Structure 1
Amino acid sequence: MCGVKLPAGLKNASRLPEPIYTPAAKAEMGEHDENITFEETVAIVGADLAARIRDISIALYRAASEFAATKGIIIADTKFEFGLDRDGTLVLMDEVLTPDSSRYWPSESYQEGSNPPSYDKQFLRDWLETAQVAGRPWSKTPPAPHLPREVIEKTSAKYQEALARLTS
């Protein structure tokens, strides 16, 4: 994955022995970011900056994951976005550790090999996989399917539950 060799025998939702850094290159608006290797990151931003971004990302994930664990939540994965300001200072930007950028699983129902329930946008993603537009499966291009009120409410409830657990 992104040039990182994964351990043999992994199952769905297996915990990795250590966090891994999986960089992506930002895509144009409306497109999906492209997974790249660390070496490709080095070619784009240089070795020092690539190493700083990787090290900061892993440190942030570890700290957040350790905190979430005290609240009964597993942060399965997350993404961070970085940029440089006008002075060339590395800046963490966009959303950070939200249910839109992370997968949050309740630790009490976690089971390796299963699809854990979650407090994130996975419910919405799953609904979109079965959504139809004009009687046909949605092609993931505009126009998007109409979101029923119950899908919006259930997604909102999952986000609110994550917030309540993390801030309790």
Structure 2
Amino acid sequence: MNDHYQFDAAGALLSTELPFPRRQGKVRDVYDLGDRLLIVSSDRISAFDYILPTGIPDKGRLLTAMSRFWFEQMDAGRIGQNAGGPNAEQSISHHLISTDVPEEVADQVDPKPLEGRIMVTRKASVVPFECVVRGYLEGSGWKEYQSTGEVCGVALPAGLKQCDQLSEPIFTPATKAEEGHDENVSFEVMCESLGEEQSSQLRRMSLAIYQDALKIAAERGLLIADTKFEFGIVDDQLILIDEVLTPDSSRFWAADEYEPGHSQRSFDKQFVREYLQASDWDRNSPPPPLPESIARQTADRYREGYERLTGQAFA
């Protein structure tokens, strides 16, 4: 067994331990390379604020490939061209430098397990808010609407059904939590923390990215119900960081299956959530391993979302 990598019985990559300073998130291992970051997308999967002991084979490679697809759309000018306002001269910048394994890493560890699942990125000072955009009423937004008729302080019309499309997308920020759930907040709370100018810029950029991505997804028969973006600051400029528009950060639905009034089939970890909800697990103790069939069906769902979006078979 390679000391730098931990796999589960099905071959899913659960953890990496490379000879560089590391911090771990729920899914990603982030390494400091000095002037850049190396972000490794593992096959870990989380649910109900727990990281499960079973991985989803190739999940990290699929997430990386989807992020790369969207960053390429930005580089091509299809996304975010007008996000800076009426006087903007260029599209949104992002942190991705390369998806190739750097030489200084390949010289010290076996690079093969990293291939297809890494991003080399610029370093940025992270904005401490998730920038959430909702085009459809689902998830925590649906729950809040049922209780208050609002989502993060945004009043919505009465009588909306679960998964209804909103008349226009709404920006609903959330605080970034190190552990547990992020907390939905109003735009006013964001302004109090960051100032109105930066908050307004983040809202404008987030809505522009979402609306442009919505058009690209629609061309491929997909709906993006909602998504969350993260931004950082480099040389006083806001740039898009982290993953972008993947099934871990967004809800993707098939347009030809869309039917409001109930939850939709989505291209993410739906099988995992449904299995755990139906199990005897109390959600207050370490979660049980997933059956092989659940892990396989979840992997298939991620793969289907990628192939629908890109029109390419995932190898």
TM-score (norm 2): 0.49
- SS of the counterpart of 1:114? coil
- Letter of the aligned partner of 2:206 in structure 1? S
* TM-aligned CA deviation for residue 91 of structure 1: 2.3
- Choose 1 or 2 for highest CA Rg: 2
State the 1:105 CA deviation.
0.6
- Higher mean C-alpha deviation, range 111-120 or range 66-75: 111-120
1:100 aligns with 2:243: no
> How big is the shift at 1:151?
1.4
User: In proportion to residue count, which structure has more helix?
Assistant: 1
The answer to whether the Cα contact below 8 Å between 1:132 and 1:145 also exists between their aligned partners in 2 is no
Which structure 2 residue ranges, 5 or more long, are not aligned? 1-150
User: Number of paired residues?
Assistant: 161
Give the drift of 1:48: 0.8
**For residue 75 of structure 1, what is the aligned residue in structure 2?**
224
Structure 1 residue 82 displacement after superposition = 1.5
Residue 106 of structure 1 aligns to which amino acid in structure 2?
Answer: A
Q: Does residue 62 in structure 1 map to residue 211 in structure 2?
A: yes
- Alignment partners' CA distance in 1, 2:296 and 2:160: 34
The corresponding residue for 2:302 is: 159
Per-residue CA deviations over 1:63-117 (Å, capped at 9, x if unaligned) read: 11111111111111111112223x3321211111001111111111111112211
TM-score in terms of structure 1 length = 0.90
Q: Which residue number corresponds to residue 271 of structure 2?
A: 123
C-alpha distance after superposition, 1:21-67 (max 9, x if no partner): 01001012x31111110000001111111011111111111011111
Greater percentage in strand:
2
CA distance in 1, matches of 2:270, 2:197: 35
State the one-letter code of the partner of 1:138. R
Whole-Å separation in 2 of the counterparts to 1:101 and 1:8 = 28
Per the TM alignment, residue 121 of structure 1 is displaced from its structure 2 partner at its CA by 2.2
Shift of 1:156: 0.9
- Fraction of identical pairs, as percent: 47
* Pair 1:89–1:128, CA change in 2 (3 A): farther
RMSD: 1.4
Please list every run of 5 or more consecutive structure 1 residues that lacks an aligned counterpart in the other structure: none
Secondary structure at 1:20 match in 2: strand
